[in-house]
Amino acid sequence: MSTSSGNHGKDLEQGSSSLDHYHHQHQQQQQSEPIPLSRYESQKRRDWNTFGQYLKNQRPPVPLSECNCNHVLDFLRYLDQFGKTKVHLQGCMFYGQPEPPARCPCPLRQAWGSLDALIGRLRAAYEENGGSQDANPFASGSIRVYLREVRESQAKARGIPYRKKKKNMDQSNKGIGEESSSNMHFS
């Protein structure tokens, strides 16, 4: 039995050195591979590259340093051609109906939520790529106005009024619920 336990000790020793070798290789491999980006970071990088390409394709090309809110607005309008959200026009018989019973020739547009998220990512990317927070064209008031108009027009066209959540009401209701539960006593 002593031989088998002696061999067992050698096996453990060899197994542990193999395991150490594996961990060392794995650690080296992890250090040489770039850390995978989160979904948000990947999307932000793609959006930034797409916007940069859009500026390069302008006639004449627009350097990023000369980009302003008008270029951003033009980019948002350009993206509408790739939209998937049906936005009924005022003359359409389905205007204002959330679920129309048939097809119509109204255009497809980018959904407001998609545009809003896109602007958020581009605003962050602009500053991460050396742009000044004060000169950020994605943070312009005209961009906020455009997004608000898109949101309102899409809500009307679909017959779904957009209501901003009221923070005061939510907080006051929350406080009432907490107050009543904190007064409960158990015996």
State residue 187's pLDDT score: 35
State residue 167's pLDDT score: 63
Cβ atoms of residues 29 and 53 within 8 Å: no
Is residue 180 in a domain?
no
State residue 159's pLDDT score: 77
Is residue 18 in a domain?
no
Is residue 57 in a domain?
yes
Q: Is 108 helix (H, G, I), strand (E, B) or coil?
A: strand
State residue 12's pLDDT score: 44
Per-residue pLDDT of the chain (187 residues; tens, 9 = 90+): 444 445 544 444 454 454 454 445 545 555 566 788 899 999 999 999 999 999 999 999 999 889 999 999 999 999 999 999 889 898 999 998 888 889 999 999 999 999 999 999 999 999 999 999 999 999 999 999 999 999 999 998 887 765 666 666 555 444 444 433 333 333 3
Is residue 10 in a domain?
no
pTM beyond 0.85: the answer is no
d(CA 69, CA 84): 24
Instruction: Find the domain containing 125 and state its range.
Output: 38-163
Q: Within the chain, how many helices (H) and strands (E) appear? A: 6, 2
Cβ atoms of residues 28 and 99 within 8 Å: no
| Domains: count for the chain | 1
CA quadruple 85, 105, 98, 72: dihedral sign = positive
Is residue 143 in a domain?
yes
d(CA 48, CA 42): 10
Is residue 54 in a domain?
yes
d(CA 11, CA 18): 10
Is residue 75 in a domain?
yes
Cα atoms in the 13 Å half-sphere on the side-chain side of 124: 13
d(CA 173, CA 175): 5
Rg (CA), the chain: 29
Is residue 105 in a domain?
yes
